[in-house]
Protein backbone atom coordinates (compact mmCIF):
# COMPACT_ATOMS: atom_id res chain seq x y z
CA UNK A 1 0.00 0.00 0.00
CA UNK A 2 2.81 2.37 0.94
CA UNK A 3 4.66 1.54 -2.27
CA UNK A 4 1.57 2.41 -4.30
CA UNK A 5 1.19 5.70 -2.38
CA UNK A 6 4.85 6.54 -2.95
CA UNK A 7 4.39 5.78 -6.64
CA UNK A 8 1.42 8.17 -6.91
CA UNK A 9 3.34 10.93 -5.09
CA UNK A 10 6.35 10.41 -7.34
CA UNK A 11 4.13 10.62 -10.44
CA UNK A 12 2.56 13.90 -9.24
CA UNK A 13 5.99 15.39 -8.55
CA UNK A 14 7.18 14.29 -11.99
CA UNK A 15 4.18 15.95 -13.68
CA UNK A 16 4.77 19.21 -11.78
CA UNK A 17 8.45 19.24 -12.72
CA UNK A 18 7.62 18.49 -16.37
CA UNK A 19 5.16 21.40 -16.51
CA UNK A 20 7.77 23.72 -15.01
CA UNK A 21 10.35 22.64 -17.60
CA UNK A 22 7.88 23.27 -20.45
CA UNK A 23 7.01 26.75 -19.17
CA UNK A 24 10.68 27.62 -18.72
CA UNK A 25 11.49 26.35 -22.22
CA UNK A 26 8.71 28.47 -23.78
CA UNK A 27 10.00 31.56 -21.98
CA UNK A 28 13.63 30.98 -22.90
CA UNK A 29 12.71 30.11 -26.50
CA UNK A 30 10.79 33.37 -26.78
CA UNK A 31 13.75 35.34 -25.42
CA UNK A 32 16.14 33.43 -27.67
CA UNK A 33 14.07 34.23 -30.77
CA UNK A 34 14.03 37.90 -29.79
CA UNK A 35 17.81 37.91 -29.45
CA UNK A 36 18.35 35.99 -32.70
CA UNK A 37 16.29 38.49 -34.66
CA UNK A 38 18.87 41.16 -33.92
CA UNK A 39 21.93 39.15 -34.88
CA UNK A 40 21.41 40.14 -38.54
CA UNK A 41 23.78 42.88 -39.67
CA UNK A 42 21.74 45.31 -41.73
CA UNK A 43 23.85 48.43 -42.18
CA UNK A 44 22.14 50.43 -39.44
CA UNK A 45 24.39 51.03 -36.44
CA UNK A 46 23.22 48.71 -33.69
CA UNK A 47 26.34 48.77 -31.58
CA UNK A 48 24.59 50.84 -28.92
CA UNK A 49 21.52 48.88 -27.86
CA UNK A 50 19.33 48.85 -24.80
CA UNK A 51 16.53 46.61 -23.60
CA UNK A 52 12.90 47.63 -23.25
CA UNK A 53 10.04 45.73 -21.70
CA UNK A 54 7.04 45.00 -23.92
CA UNK A 55 3.76 43.52 -22.78
CA UNK A 56 1.54 41.02 -24.54
CA UNK A 57 -1.00 43.84 -25.06
CA UNK A 58 1.39 45.47 -27.54
CA UNK A 59 0.59 42.66 -29.99
CA UNK A 60 -2.89 44.14 -30.40
CA UNK A 61 -2.07 47.77 -31.22
CA UNK A 62 -0.07 49.76 -33.77
CA UNK A 63 -0.16 50.76 -37.43
CA UNK A 64 0.19 47.18 -38.70
CA UNK A 65 -2.50 45.36 -36.74
CA UNK A 66 -4.64 43.07 -38.87
CA UNK A 67 -8.40 43.50 -38.54
CA UNK A 68 -10.75 41.14 -40.35
CA UNK A 69 -13.43 38.53 -39.65
CA UNK A 70 -10.91 36.38 -37.76
CA UNK A 71 -9.07 39.12 -35.88
CA UNK A 72 -11.26 41.75 -34.19
CA UNK A 73 -10.07 45.08 -32.83
CA UNK A 74 -8.77 44.67 -29.30
CA UNK A 75 -10.09 47.07 -26.64
CA UNK A 76 -6.51 48.32 -26.17
CA UNK A 77 -6.38 49.37 -29.84
CA UNK A 78 -9.60 51.36 -30.06
CA UNK A 79 -9.07 54.99 -31.06
CA UNK A 80 -9.70 57.21 -28.05
CA UNK A 81 -8.92 60.56 -29.68
CA UNK A 82 -11.17 60.53 -32.76
CA UNK A 83 -12.89 63.88 -33.27
CA UNK A 84 -15.84 65.11 -35.30
CA UNK A 85 -14.15 66.95 -38.17
CA UNK A 86 -17.09 69.27 -38.77
CA UNK A 87 -16.38 70.74 -35.33
CA UNK A 88 -12.68 71.14 -36.12
CA UNK A 89 -12.47 73.11 -39.39
CA UNK A 90 -8.79 73.76 -38.75
CA UNK A 91 -8.17 70.08 -39.56
CA UNK A 92 -9.98 70.16 -42.92
CA UNK A 93 -7.28 70.96 -45.47
CA UNK A 94 -7.48 69.82 -49.09
CA UNK A 95 -10.72 67.84 -48.85
CA UNK A 96 -14.41 68.11 -48.04
CA UNK A 97 -16.73 65.96 -45.93
CA UNK A 98 -19.69 63.95 -47.14
CA UNK A 99 -21.64 64.95 -44.02
CA UNK A 100 -21.21 66.30 -40.50
CA UNK A 101 -20.80 62.89 -38.85
CA UNK A 102 -17.27 62.09 -40.10
CA UNK A 103 -14.82 61.32 -37.29
CA UNK A 104 -11.06 60.76 -37.57
CA UNK A 105 -8.04 60.92 -35.29
CA UNK A 106 -5.87 64.05 -35.64
CA UNK A 107 -2.97 61.73 -36.54
CA UNK A 108 -4.78 60.25 -39.54
CA UNK A 109 -6.11 63.63 -40.66
CA UNK A 110 -2.56 65.01 -40.73
CA UNK A 111 -1.33 62.07 -42.82
CA UNK A 112 -4.26 62.39 -45.22
CA UNK A 113 -3.81 66.16 -45.56
CA UNK A 114 -0.14 65.68 -46.44
CA UNK A 115 -1.22 63.37 -49.24
CA UNK A 116 -3.97 65.60 -50.61
CA UNK A 117 -1.61 68.58 -50.62
CA UNK A 118 0.77 66.60 -52.83
CA UNK A 119 -2.12 65.66 -55.14
CA UNK A 120 -3.04 69.32 -55.57
CA UNK A 121 0.32 69.87 -57.28
CA UNK A 122 -0.91 67.43 -59.93
CA UNK A 123 -4.22 69.33 -60.24
CA UNK A 124 -6.06 66.57 -58.39
CA UNK A 125 -8.11 68.39 -55.77
CA UNK A 126 -11.62 66.98 -55.47
CA UNK A 127 -11.12 64.69 -52.49
CA UNK A 128 -13.97 63.92 -50.12
CA UNK A 129 -13.99 61.80 -46.97
CA UNK A 130 -17.14 59.69 -46.98
CA UNK A 131 -16.53 57.63 -43.83
CA UNK A 132 -13.97 57.55 -41.05
CA UNK A 133 -13.78 56.19 -37.53
CA UNK A 134 -16.74 54.29 -36.13
CA UNK A 135 -17.01 52.94 -32.61
CA UNK A 136 -18.27 49.40 -32.04
CA UNK A 137 -21.77 50.60 -31.20
CA UNK A 138 -22.08 52.48 -34.50
CA UNK A 139 -20.62 49.52 -36.39
CA UNK A 140 -23.13 47.17 -34.78
CA UNK A 141 -26.00 49.46 -35.77
CA UNK A 142 -24.69 49.55 -39.34
CA UNK A 143 -24.39 45.76 -39.41
CA UNK A 144 -27.95 45.29 -38.15
CA UNK A 145 -29.25 47.84 -40.66
CA UNK A 146 -27.37 46.69 -43.77
CA UNK A 147 -26.75 43.01 -43.07
CA UNK A 148 -23.65 40.82 -43.46
CA UNK A 149 -23.40 41.35 -47.22
CA UNK A 150 -22.62 45.04 -46.78
CA UNK A 151 -21.11 45.45 -43.31
CA UNK A 152 -19.10 43.63 -40.67
CA UNK A 153 -20.13 43.16 -37.02
CA UNK A 154 -18.98 45.65 -34.42
CA UNK A 155 -15.27 45.24 -33.67
CA UNK A 156 -14.44 43.45 -36.93
CA UNK A 157 -14.13 46.48 -39.20
CA UNK A 158 -11.00 48.55 -39.81
CA UNK A 159 -13.18 51.60 -39.28
CA UNK A 160 -13.29 50.61 -35.59
CA UNK A 161 -9.49 50.89 -35.45
CA UNK A 162 -9.02 54.55 -36.40
CA UNK A 163 -6.46 53.94 -39.17
CA UNK A 164 -8.81 53.60 -42.14
CA UNK A 165 -11.02 55.97 -44.09
CA UNK A 166 -13.25 55.89 -47.14
CA UNK A 167 -12.17 58.43 -49.75
CA UNK A 168 -14.47 59.73 -52.45
CA UNK A 169 -14.42 62.37 -55.14
CA UNK A 170 -16.84 65.20 -55.78
CA UNK A 171 -16.41 64.36 -59.48
CA UNK A 172 -17.89 60.85 -59.39
CA UNK A 173 -17.07 57.23 -58.61
CA UNK A 174 -13.54 56.53 -57.43
CA UNK A 175 -13.03 53.88 -60.12
CA UNK A 176 -13.14 56.62 -62.75
CA UNK A 177 -12.32 59.87 -60.93
CA UNK A 178 -8.87 61.47 -61.13
CA UNK A 179 -8.65 61.20 -57.33
CA UNK A 180 -9.06 57.43 -57.43
CA UNK A 181 -6.47 57.00 -60.16
CA UNK A 182 -4.01 59.28 -58.36
CA UNK A 183 -4.37 57.34 -55.11
CA UNK A 184 -3.83 54.01 -56.86
CA UNK A 185 -0.47 55.28 -58.11
CA UNK A 186 0.66 57.44 -55.21
CA UNK A 187 -1.02 56.57 -51.90
CA UNK A 188 1.84 54.24 -50.93
CA UNK A 189 4.25 57.18 -51.02
CA UNK A 190 2.46 58.64 -48.01
CA UNK A 191 2.02 55.47 -45.98
CA UNK A 192 -1.45 54.49 -47.27
CA UNK A 193 -2.50 51.30 -49.07
CA UNK A 194 -5.63 50.25 -50.94
CA UNK A 195 -6.89 47.71 -48.43
CA UNK A 196 -9.29 45.68 -50.58
CA UNK A 197 -8.01 45.30 -54.17
CA UNK A 198 -10.15 43.68 -56.84
CA UNK A 199 -7.89 40.65 -57.31
CA UNK A 200 -7.42 39.84 -53.60
CA UNK A 201 -10.98 39.23 -52.45
CA UNK A 202 -10.25 35.55 -51.78
CA UNK A 203 -7.62 36.63 -49.25
CA UNK A 204 -9.28 39.66 -47.64
CA UNK A 205 -12.81 38.27 -47.70
CA UNK A 206 -14.04 41.73 -48.73
CA UNK A 207 -15.31 42.82 -52.14
CA UNK A 208 -13.33 45.35 -54.18
CA UNK A 209 -13.50 48.75 -52.49
CA UNK A 210 -11.62 51.43 -54.46
CA UNK A 211 -12.50 53.98 -51.78
CA UNK A 212 -11.16 52.20 -48.66
CA UNK A 213 -7.58 53.14 -47.72
CA UNK A 214 -5.62 52.07 -44.67
CA UNK A 215 -2.62 53.78 -43.11
CA UNK A 216 0.33 51.45 -42.40
CA UNK A 217 3.21 53.94 -42.73
CA UNK A 218 6.50 53.85 -44.59
CA UNK A 219 8.37 51.70 -45.45
CA UNK A 220 5.58 49.13 -45.15
CA UNK A 221 3.33 50.76 -47.75
CA UNK A 222 6.24 50.77 -50.22
CA UNK A 223 6.94 47.07 -49.71
CA UNK A 224 3.26 46.20 -50.03
CA UNK A 225 2.93 48.23 -53.22
CA UNK A 226 6.10 46.80 -54.77
CA UNK A 227 5.05 43.21 -54.06
CA UNK A 228 1.31 43.70 -54.55
CA UNK A 229 0.66 42.48 -51.01
CA UNK A 230 -2.48 42.98 -49.00
CA UNK A 231 -1.98 43.24 -45.25
CA UNK A 232 -2.67 39.54 -44.65
CA UNK A 233 0.08 38.60 -47.11
CA UNK A 234 2.51 41.21 -45.84
CA UNK A 235 2.30 40.07 -42.23
CA UNK A 236 2.91 36.47 -43.34
CA UNK A 237 5.89 37.71 -45.34
CA UNK A 238 7.39 39.50 -42.33
CA UNK A 239 6.92 36.41 -40.20
CA UNK A 240 8.79 34.33 -42.76
CA UNK A 241 11.60 36.84 -43.31
CA UNK A 242 12.11 37.59 -39.59
CA UNK A 243 14.50 40.44 -40.43
CA UNK A 244 14.93 42.58 -43.54
CA UNK A 245 16.32 45.91 -44.72
CA UNK A 246 14.88 48.26 -47.34
CA UNK A 247 15.88 51.70 -48.59
CA UNK A 248 13.08 54.14 -49.41
CA UNK A 249 13.83 57.75 -50.31
CA UNK A 250 17.48 57.09 -49.48
CA UNK A 251 16.34 56.30 -45.96
CA UNK A 252 17.38 52.88 -44.69
CA UNK A 253 14.84 50.94 -42.67
CA UNK A 254 15.35 47.68 -40.81
CA UNK A 255 12.27 45.62 -40.00
CA UNK A 256 12.30 42.78 -37.45
CA UNK A 257 9.54 40.40 -36.48
CA UNK A 258 9.35 39.15 -32.87
CA UNK A 259 7.07 36.25 -31.93
CA UNK A 260 5.48 37.16 -28.60
CA UNK A 261 3.75 34.72 -26.26
CA UNK A 262 4.02 36.74 -23.05
CA UNK A 263 5.52 39.91 -21.59
CA UNK A 264 9.15 39.98 -22.66
CA UNK A 265 12.22 42.12 -23.30
CA UNK A 266 13.48 43.22 -26.71
CA UNK A 267 16.58 45.16 -27.69
CA UNK A 268 16.38 48.42 -29.63
CA UNK A 269 19.04 50.94 -30.70
CA UNK A 270 19.77 53.93 -28.50
CA UNK A 271 20.97 56.17 -31.33
CA UNK A 272 18.24 55.42 -33.91
CA UNK A 273 14.49 55.90 -34.08
CA UNK A 274 12.16 52.94 -33.91
CA UNK A 275 8.46 52.15 -34.08
CA UNK A 276 6.76 49.10 -32.59
CA UNK A 277 3.51 47.63 -33.86
CA UNK A 278 1.72 44.42 -33.12
CA UNK A 279 0.13 42.31 -35.84
CA UNK A 280 -2.99 41.48 -33.77
CA UNK A 281 -2.08 37.80 -34.01
CA UNK A 282 1.15 36.59 -32.46
CA UNK A 283 3.99 39.06 -32.66
CA UNK A 284 5.56 42.50 -32.90
CA UNK A 285 7.12 44.32 -35.84
CA UNK A 286 9.96 46.69 -34.92
CA UNK A 287 10.92 49.23 -37.58
CA UNK A 288 14.26 51.00 -37.08
CA UNK A 289 15.31 54.11 -39.02
CA UNK A 290 17.48 57.19 -38.61
CA UNK A 291 15.00 59.93 -39.55
CA UNK A 292 12.45 61.52 -37.24
CA UNK A 293 9.32 60.58 -39.21
CA UNK A 294 7.97 60.03 -42.71
CA UNK A 295 7.90 63.73 -43.55
CA UNK A 296 11.26 64.75 -42.11
CA UNK A 297 13.14 61.89 -43.72
CA UNK A 298 11.81 62.85 -47.15
CA UNK A 299 11.74 66.63 -47.18
CA UNK A 300 15.32 67.17 -48.41
CA UNK A 301 15.16 64.70 -51.27
CA UNK A 302 14.83 65.35 -54.97
CA UNK A 303 11.26 66.50 -55.55
CA UNK A 304 11.45 65.60 -59.23
CA UNK A 305 12.07 61.89 -58.70
CA UNK A 306 10.53 59.80 -61.45
CA UNK A 307 7.27 58.09 -60.56
CA UNK A 308 8.34 55.10 -62.66
CA UNK A 309 11.07 54.11 -60.24
CA UNK A 310 10.67 51.25 -57.81
CA UNK A 311 9.58 52.10 -54.24
CA UNK A 312 12.68 50.29 -53.04
CA UNK A 313 14.80 52.82 -54.94
CA UNK A 314 13.06 56.10 -54.27
CA UNK A 315 9.84 57.70 -53.09
CA UNK A 316 9.01 61.29 -54.06
CA UNK A 317 9.52 63.86 -51.34
CA UNK A 318 6.80 64.23 -48.73
CA UNK A 319 6.43 67.73 -47.40
CA UNK A 320 5.00 68.71 -44.05
CA UNK A 321 1.34 69.72 -44.44
CA UNK A 322 0.45 73.39 -44.40
CA UNK A 323 -1.60 74.63 -41.47
CA UNK A 324 -4.30 75.89 -43.80
CA UNK A 325 -5.18 75.77 -47.47
CA UNK A 326 -6.09 79.11 -49.09
CA UNK A 327 -9.81 79.40 -49.73
CA UNK A 328 -9.34 79.74 -53.48
CA UNK A 329 -7.53 76.40 -53.57
CA UNK A 330 -10.26 74.45 -51.81
CA UNK A 331 -12.41 72.28 -54.06
CA UNK A 332 -15.89 73.46 -54.84
CA UNK A 333 -18.37 71.32 -52.91
CA UNK A 334 -20.59 69.44 -55.33
CA UNK A 335 -23.08 66.70 -54.71
CA UNK A 336 -21.34 63.43 -55.65
CA UNK A 337 -22.94 61.41 -58.41
CA UNK A 338 -22.54 58.28 -56.30
CA UNK A 339 -21.55 58.22 -52.65
CA UNK A 340 -19.32 55.39 -51.54
CA UNK A 341 -21.37 52.71 -49.78
CA UNK A 342 -20.74 51.87 -46.16
CA UNK A 343 -18.21 49.09 -46.17
CA UNK A 344 -16.75 46.56 -43.76
- Domain at 93, CATH number: 3.30.1380.10
Per-residue confidence (pLDDT) for residue 249, from 0 to 100 = 86
User: Within a domain: residue 21?
Assistant: no
Q: Contact at 8 Å (CB) between 286 and 256? A: yes
Give the pairing of strands 103-104 and 127-131. Answer: unpaired
- Summarised one tens digit per residue, pLDDT across range 217-262 is 999 999 999 999 999 999 999 999 999 999 998 899 999 999 998 9
Looking at the domain assignment, is residue 238 inside a domain? yes
Residue 17 within a domain:
no
Evaluate whether residue 331 is within a structural domain: no
Give the three-class secondary structure for 163: coil
Nearest one of 236, 255, 258, 233 to 246, comparing CA atoms: 255
At residue 41, does pLDDT exceed 70?
no
Rounded-to-integer distance, Cα 166 and Cα 159, Å: 9
Q: Is residue 70 part of a domain?
A: yes
Looking at the DSSP assignment, which residues form a beta bridge with residue 288? 254, 274
Confidence band of 344 (pLDDT split at 50, 70, 90): low
Q: Is 334 inside a domain boundary? A: no
DSSP-based three-state secondary structure for 156: coil
Length of the chain: 344
Is 7 among the domain residues?
Answer: no
What gap in Å lies between CA 25 and CA 129, rounded to an integer?
50
Which has the minimum average pLDDT: 20-24, 83-87, 158-162, 302-306? Answer: 302-306
Number of domains in the chain: 1
pLDDT for 187 = 98
User: What is the H or E stretch that residue 30 is in?
Assistant: helix 2-37
Active site residues: 209
Where in the sequence is the domain holding 168, given as residue range(s)? 37-325
At residue 261, the pLDDT reads: 87
**What are the φ/ψ torsions at residue 264 (nearest 5 degrees)?**
-150, -175
Which pLDDT score, from 0 to 100, does residue 37 have?
42
Question: Is 296 a member of any domain?
Answer: yes
Please state, rounded to an integer, the average pLDDT across all residues of the chain: 80
Amino acid sequence: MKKRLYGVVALVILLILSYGVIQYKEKTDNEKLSEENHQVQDGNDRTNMHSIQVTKDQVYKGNLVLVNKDHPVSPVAEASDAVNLSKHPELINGFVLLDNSIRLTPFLVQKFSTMTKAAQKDDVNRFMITSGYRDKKKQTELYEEMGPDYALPGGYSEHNLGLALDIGSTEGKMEYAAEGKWLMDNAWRYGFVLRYPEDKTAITGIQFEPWHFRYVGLPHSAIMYENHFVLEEYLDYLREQKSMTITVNRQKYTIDYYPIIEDTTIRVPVNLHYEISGNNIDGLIVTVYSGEDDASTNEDLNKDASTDESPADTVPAVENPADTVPADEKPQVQKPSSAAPEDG
